[in-house]
Amino acid sequence: MMLTLGLTLVRHGETQYNKDKLLQGQGIDTSLSEMGFRQAEAAGQYLQDLHFTKAFVSNLQRAIQTAEIILRSNLHSAGVEMVLDPLLRERGFGVAEGRPKEDLKNMANAAGQACRDFTPPGGETLEQVKTRFRKFLKSMFQRILTDHRPGPSADAFPESALDTSIAGFADDGVENLHVHALVVSHGAFIRVAVRHLVDGLRCSLPQGIKMSQVYSACPNTGICRFVVTLRTDEDVPRPVAFHCIFINRKDHLAGLKD
């Protein structure tokens, strides 16, 4: 049997560290800034008509606050379970945490590496972050299968959605799906996750999207959406198809000013 679900990834709202261009990673657990709360409220308003059946959230404060605001704004998800998952935490930046991003660039330059590929002492490699994301996907799919046993007429992804995926509506790609997970995480983690979905799991992309956008940094409360089809034989969920609907959407931020 098959089960198709929506997966909406949101980066947390701005913190003072984000504003000051300081690295937070995992060791610095900051709250949202005033702008970050406004961004989260804007994201919540944008997503208010969607029906989330589950929410998976990094257990760092900035992600929890963002998810709480999004779910509080939502018109259909009052009883949704919020699962706090350390697998969704930001990439660990080791000795660079709490320091300016410029310091990380200088360390990478000294090592002869690109900044995004460089691992500071005590930090996580990109491969370790990817492994964490893969563990999260496996855990999430199993939780969803436990809650939503598919029947013979389970949701299937309508291929026509690929033609309208960049129409600009908040429910693009998920308007006919009954299972939809909200995932709230962090910038570096989401960048690795999206790259793995596209490069490693052969996720299809919407027409007209540029690879530079696929690999670009997600802004605070930027939204990415994927649709995943699982084969659910013998109670083991196995993903058989990934479709990207949009990446790093920020329409809801247009009216916000410092």
The model's pLDDT over 164-179, given as tens digits with 9 standing for 90+, comes to 445 689 999 999 999 9
pLDDT at 159: 53
pLDDT at 254: 93
pLDDT at 150: 65
CB 257 within 8 A of CB 38: no
Q: Which residue among 12, 180, 186, 252 is the active-site one?
A: 12
Q: Which domains does the chain have, with CATH numbers?
A: 2-253 (3.40.50.1240)
Question: In the annotation, is 178 catalytic?
Answer: no
Encoded amino acid at 201, one letter: L
Please give the mean pLDDT across all residues of the chain.
91
Encoded amino acid at 222, one letter: G
pLDDT in tens, 35-44: 999 999 999 9
What token pair was written down for 227?
């649709």
pLDDT at 48 over 80: yes
pLDDT in tens, 117-176: 899 999 999 999 999 999 999 999 999 998 887 655 444 555 544 544 456 899 999 999
Q: Is 44 helix (H, G, I), strand (E, B) or coil?
A: helix
CA distances 134 to 66, 141, 234, 237, Å, are: 23, 11, 21, 13
CB 2 within 8 A of CB 241: no
pLDDT in tens, 182-214: 999 999 999 999 999 999 999 999 988 899 989
pLDDT at 60 over 90: yes
**From CA 229, how far away is CA 246, in angstroms rounded?**
17
What residues are designated binding site? 11-18, 62, 101
What residues are designated binding site for substrate? 11-18, 62, 101
pLDDT in tens, 91-105: 999 999 999 999 999
Question: In the annotation, is 252 catalytic?
Answer: no
pLDDT classification of 67: cutoffs 50, 70, 90: very high
What token pair was written down for 171?
């429910």
Q: Which residue among 41, 90, 97, 124 is the active-site one?
A: 90
- 16 vs 78, higher pLDDT: 16
**From CA 252, how far away is CA 258, in angstroms rounded?**
15
Pairing of strands 223-231, 238-249: antiparallel
Whose tokens are 């940094």? That residue is: 217
Pairing of strands 82-84, 223-231: unpaired
Contacts (Cβ under 8 Å, ≥6 apart) of 240:
2, 229, 230, 231
